[in-house]
Amino acid sequence: SHNLSRADTAMKNDEAFRTKLERALGEKYNGVKIKHLLDVMVNDIGTDAISKKFTKSLKGIKAVAYYGCLLVRPSEVSKFDNPENPMSLDNLIKSTGADCLPFMQKTKCCGGNLLMSKQDYAFLLTKKLFDEAKASGANCVVVACPMCHMLLDGQQTTIEKAHNTVIDMPVLYFTQLIGLAMGISEKELELDKNMVPTSKLIGSIGKGETKAEVKGATTEGAKTEEAEAAE
């Protein structure tokens, strides 16, 4: 949506550019409204409306929201979220019951546009993202950009070899995360097509209760039983 939005803005605002292209193509450009799917889901449909379709909580998943460098930039083109600290994906993740952890790298470049020309530098940028994600305690990265997913998921093994490290961090499209909350099967969501295995992540769902929460629930249950016995 980024490239289409920039082209649409140029056609609408640059009369000389628009006239030149219209003359060359023999067509008149009246403009179109371009929206990213995340924008549609969060602002047109609404997080509350989407969450009503959820059939299970994804508690146990500890995610970081990664927007990438182009989804909400430049601000004159992409206006659906704050370009410096976007929250739409964070809020969508939280609505599933999953934890969304603070992530300073959320709008930093993943290095995808450098993959062919400067692979070493691209991998350095990507490793920096993973280092912070792992340090935060995340067990997955949720993305909204296909190029980001291609690099973070598709090249993760290569990055591990390049930096002699183990990352082992599943990378999900936000639509896959939503699908899990809706009860859609892993096969239908094609999680098996992800390069980094997601089985351990899926197994963590429902195991997010802390000992304190379990103890609290047990204590509350004991109090209820005592009250009933007293009656």
The reported pLDDT for the residue numbered 74 is 72
pLDDT band at 229 (very low <50, low <70, confident <90, very high): very low
β-bridge mates for residue 66, sequence order: 143
* pLDDT (tens digit per residue) in 15-45: 999 899 989 999 998 888 889 899 999 999 9
- CATH of 35-208, picked from 3.40.50.2300, 1.20.210.10, 3.40.50.11810, 3.90.1150.10, is 3.40.50.11810
With a CB cutoff of 8 Å and minimum separation 6, the contacts of 107 are: 67, 68, 69, 71, 72, 73, 83, 84, 85, 86
Least Cα distance to 144 among 199, 90, 193 occurs for 90
With a CB cutoff of 8 Å and minimum separation 6, the contacts of 54 are: 95, 96, 97, 181, 182, 183
Domain boundaries, the chain: 1-34, 35-208
Model confidence at 109: pLDDT above 50: yes
The reported pLDDT for the residue numbered 11 is 84
What's the predicted TM-score (pTM) here?
Answer: 0.83
Least Cα distance to 65 among 18, 38, 116, 102 occurs for 102
Give CA–CA dist 99/9, Å, rounded.
36
The reported pLDDT for the residue numbered 208 is 55
99-100: strand order across its sheet: 99-100, 62-66, 140-143, 171-173
Q: Which structure tokens are listed for 83?
A: 């370009």
Q: How far is CA 78 from CA 8, 151, 159, 210, in A?
A: 11, 23, 31, 39
The reported pLDDT for the residue numbered 214 is 37
The reported pLDDT for the residue numbered 226 is 46
* β strands within the chain, DSSP E: 62-66, 99-100, 140-143, 171-173
- Taking the CA atoms of 63, 64, 70 and 71 in sequence, report the sign of the dihedral they define: positive
Check whether the bond before 74 is cis (ω within 30° of 0). Answer: yes
Per-range mean pLDDT, top range of 28-32, 56-60, 218-222: 56-60
The reported pLDDT for the residue numbered 8 is 75
